[in-house]
Structures are given as C-alpha cells and as structure tokens.
Amino acid sequence: MTTNAPSTILVVDDYSDNRVLLSAWLRAKGYKVIEAQDGREGLLQANRSHPDLILMDLAMPELDGVEATRQLRQRRTFSRTPIFAISAYTTYDVKADALAAGCTEVFAKPLDLAALLGRIELSLDQQNSNRVNHRAAIGSS
C-alpha cells in the first residue's frame, strides 16, 4: 500500500467462511476491513463507513450483489468507488449483468489472490492519485 493511513475495504459475502478468510487476508495485507453478510447490510455498512473499495459477492439472499451495486452507483458518494464483483458463477451473462450494474471488475471464485491484490492496489493507487490531482486543481484556482 502506498498511503500512510490504511485504505478501507468493505467485504460483502453471505458465506461466512469466504468473508472471514478474505477479510483476515486483507487485514494481514494492511487494510482496514469492514464486513457485511448480504447486500442490504452492505448498503448500510457502505453508508456508515464510506469504504475506499468494495468486494461484492453477486449471489446473496435478501439483496444480491448486482442490485446492491446498482443502488450504490445511484448515490454520488459511490459513483467512483471501485466495486469488484466476486462470484462462483462467472458466465458471460453474469459478468455482463455485474458490469452493467456498475461493478468495476468481476473475479471468479476460487479467487486468484495475487491477481486480486494487484487490482486492489492499482485501483486504490489510482483513486489516491485522482484525489491528489483534484485537490491540486482546486488549490490552484
């Protein structure tokens, strides 16, 4: 990670083993992690914590990841937040639905952790760079 304060990642997955393992792995990498067990709780946690990045399972009860992503993208606060879909079902239609809802990327389970970490780091670095550039532009006007 390239920032002083740890970035916050929201992990939304109804399968507790996946959520706990992924969260522990991210914490070991230095991230602050918030967990949610379904799409509804994910929306609540996102509104409370304003995470820097969201890992969203697609197939969940109550509110699935596609609809939760759609609802997040309707809010200005989350219009640019990276949302990575994670799913055991990654057919063309599943990927297309996730991307159309506003997911930044789609990752298949079982996760390739090295690839996921690379994309997380790249997305967060880009996000931090955009914030710095935005602040510099505001400061020079």
Instruction: Measure CA 23 to chain center.
Output: 12
Mean pLDDT of 97-120: 97
Q: What is the pLDDT of residues 47-100, one digit of tens each?
A: 999 999 999 999 999 899 999 999 999 999 999 999 999 999 989 999 999 999
Mean pLDDT of 27-43: 98
pLDDT score of 3 more than 50: no
Question: How many Å apart are CA 31 and CA 76, to the nearest integer?
Answer: 24
Question: Which fold would CATH assign to domain 8-140?
Answer: Rossmann fold (3.40.50)
Question: How many CA atoms within 13 Å lie on the side-chain side of 37?
Answer: 3
Q: Kind of pairing, strands 105-108 and 8-12?
A: unpaired
Mean pLDDT of 24-44: 98
Predicted TM-score (pTM) of the model is 0.90
